[in-house]
């Protein structure tokens, strides 16, 4: 049976040059940009009081991204801001001058024309790129890895994107779109992973994700919670994790929360890199088969990796049953708590915190993470039911249960 694996971070530190990317001032800029969109509303921060009491912790707070821009996931925050930053740079304006009204104006269309934004995706990021490009009168091309469910492809197609499912894994789809963009007239890669020579746009995407982290912090203060003691954040390529960890590490530089990064066991490149602890990135190859499609990435974002290695406390590798358990618990909450519809990649935090706190097998993990009755835990449900068929299969039919893996 697949068990949860974890390792304490002992990776050699670097000069931490990318932390400033997620500074409070930089994230204020992305926040103002997003607020200019007519679809903008802060997504809710749900306080699960009964669940926290049941698990023996002080607070359990869930940022519910199923409400984001009507797209059922957080990813649009990164793609929209990166597209805005790219256009503002091309026309020589500050991003604060380039709001939604300007980006959709006839004046910009006449002066700037049209580009094609290329991206690879497991679903949510590509939908965000296609949605933003469509809103702003631009084009998009989206490539998806094998095994992608039709519902995710159809959602992207609705945004007037050219989209296809390739006989490739996610990382090879990234290489494909990089090649296609190079061969295209005015082709631009909008990818949420970085590699040598491609770092500016992924950095902008991470700053876009910072809007979600800022919202969560402001909402915590409204609840009179001044600082989370623990943040559980999931990682695929690591861009979201680097964004959230980077923002809160800047915010509480002298007394940071305990940061716990979670990956799908089939694509746990950060965990594998932390196990070896030699400072190098260790990739995961193959099909990367997991129900957590948004986390099925075997090659991490180099910018995020640098932030994570310097600030994360624990790296965790989670089997699929962890996410499935989280989906069921959020979908059928304790009486008095609010229901949260969370997809496979969104529910991993709920599945993990509940297992750590209730299963004595993971007592050493609990102690290492310093989780107790005073802990104020923040997790992020990064998507809703983006695959409705599989959501019902997990929540209604009990697929991928812990018991079925024994």
And the tokens for 56? 């023996």
Q: Write b or e for each residue in 247-269: b if 16 or more Cβ atoms lie within 10 A of its Cβ, otherwise e.
A: bbbbbeeeebbbbbbbbbbbbbb
In what helix (H) or strand (E) does residue 176 lie, and over which residues does it extend?
helix 170-183
Residue 405's pLDDT is what?
A: 52
The owner of tokens 């089939």 is 266
Tell me the CATH number of domain 5-73+201-405, given options 3.40.50.2000, 3.40.50.2300, 3.40.50.1100, 3.30.365.10: 3.40.50.1100
pLDDT band at 404, cuts 50/70/90?
low
The owner of tokens 């746990």 is 268
Residue 287's pLDDT is what?
A: 86
What confidence tens digit (pLDDT) does each residue in 125-165 have?
999 999 999 999 999 999 999 999 999 999 999 999 999 99
Would you give the distance in Å from CA 340 to the centre of its chain?
Answer: 17
Residue 402's pLDDT is what?
A: 77
What confidence tens digit (pLDDT) does each residue in 205-259 have?
999 999 999 999 999 999 999 999 999 999 999 999 999 999 999 999 999 999 9
- The residues assigned a catalytic role are 75, 122
In what helix (H) or strand (E) does residue 251 lie, and over which residues does it extend?
helix 239-251
What confidence tens digit (pLDDT) does each residue in 158-186 have?
999 999 999 999 999 999 999 999 999 99
Asked if 381 and 64 count as a contact pair (C-beta separation under 8 A), the reply is yes
From residue 286, alpha-carbon distances to 16, 168, 267, 349 in Å are: 31, 10, 9, 25
Domains 5-73+201-405 and 76-198 share a fold: yes
The dihedrals phi and psi of 290, each to the nearest 5 degrees, come to -155, 150
Asked if 289 and 147 count as a contact pair (C-beta separation under 8 A), the reply is yes
What confidence tens digit (pLDDT) does each residue in 293-334 have?
999 999 999 999 999 999 999 999 999 999 999 999 999 999
Asked if 71 and 135 count as a contact pair (C-beta separation under 8 A), the reply is no
From residue 46, alpha-carbon distances to 31, 130, 219 in Å are: 20, 29, 10
Cβ atoms within 10 Å of 280's Cβ, excluding its own:
10
pLDDT mean across residues, the chain: 96
Domain ranges of the chain: 5-73+201-405, 76-198
Computed from CA positions of residues 376, 356, 287, 165, in that sequence, does the dihedral angle turn out positive or negative? Answer: negative
Instruction: Select from 156, 323, 2, 62 the least CA-distant residue to 165.
Output: 156
Cβ atoms within 10 Å of 109's Cβ, excluding its own:
14
CATH of domain 76-198: 3.40.50.1100
């Amino acid at each position: 049976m697949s068990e949860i694996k974890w390792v304490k971070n002992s990776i050699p530190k670097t000069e931490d040059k990318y932390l400033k990317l997620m500074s409070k001032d930089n994230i204020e800029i992305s926040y103002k940009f997003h607020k200019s969109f007519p679809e903008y509303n802060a997504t809710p921060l749900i306080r699960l009081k009964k669940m926290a009491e049941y698990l023996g912790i002080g607070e359990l707070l869930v940022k519910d991204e199923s409400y984001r821009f009507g797209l059922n996931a957080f990813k649009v925050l990164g793609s929209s801001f990166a597209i805005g930053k790219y256009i503002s740079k091309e026309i020589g304006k500050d991003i604060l001058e380039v709001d939604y009204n300007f980006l959709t104006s006839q004046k910009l269309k006449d002066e700037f024309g049209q580009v094609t934004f290329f991206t690879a995706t497991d679903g949510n990021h590509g939908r965000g790129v296609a949605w933003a490009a469509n809103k702003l009168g631009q084009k998009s091309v989206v490539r998806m890895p094998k095994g992608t469910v039709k519902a995710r492809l159809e959602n992207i197609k609705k945004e007037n994107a050219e989209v296809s499912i390739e006989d490739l894994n996610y990382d090879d789809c990234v290489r494909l779109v990089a090649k296609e963009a190079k061969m295209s007239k005015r082709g631009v890669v909008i990818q949420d992973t970085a590699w040598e020579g491609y770092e500016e746009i992924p950095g902008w995407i991470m700053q876009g994700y910072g809007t979600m982290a800022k919202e969560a912090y402001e909402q915590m203060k409204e609840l009179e919670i001044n600082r989370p003691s623990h943040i559980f954040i999931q990682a695929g390529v690591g861009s979201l994790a680097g964004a959230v960890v980077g923002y809160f590490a800047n915010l509480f530089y002298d007394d940071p929360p305990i940061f716990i990064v979670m990956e799908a066991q089939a694509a746990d490149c950060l965990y594998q890199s932390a196990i070896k602890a030699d400072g190098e990135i260790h990739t995961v190859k193959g099909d990367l088969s997991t129900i957590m499609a948004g986390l099925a990435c075997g090659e991490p974002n180099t910018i995020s990796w640098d932030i994570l290695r310097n600030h994360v406390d624990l790296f965790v590798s989670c089997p699929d049953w962890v996410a499935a358990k989280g989906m069921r618990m959020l979908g059928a909450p304790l009486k008095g708590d609010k229901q949260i519809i969370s997809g496979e990649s969104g529910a991993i935090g709920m599945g993990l915190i509940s297992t750590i706190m209730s299963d004595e097998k993971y007592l050493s993990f609990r102690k290492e993470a310093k989780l107790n009755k005073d802990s104020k835990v923040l997790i992020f449900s990064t998507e809703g039911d983006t695959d409705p068929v599989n959501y019902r299969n997990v929540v209604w039919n009990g697929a991928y249960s812990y018991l079925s893996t024994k």
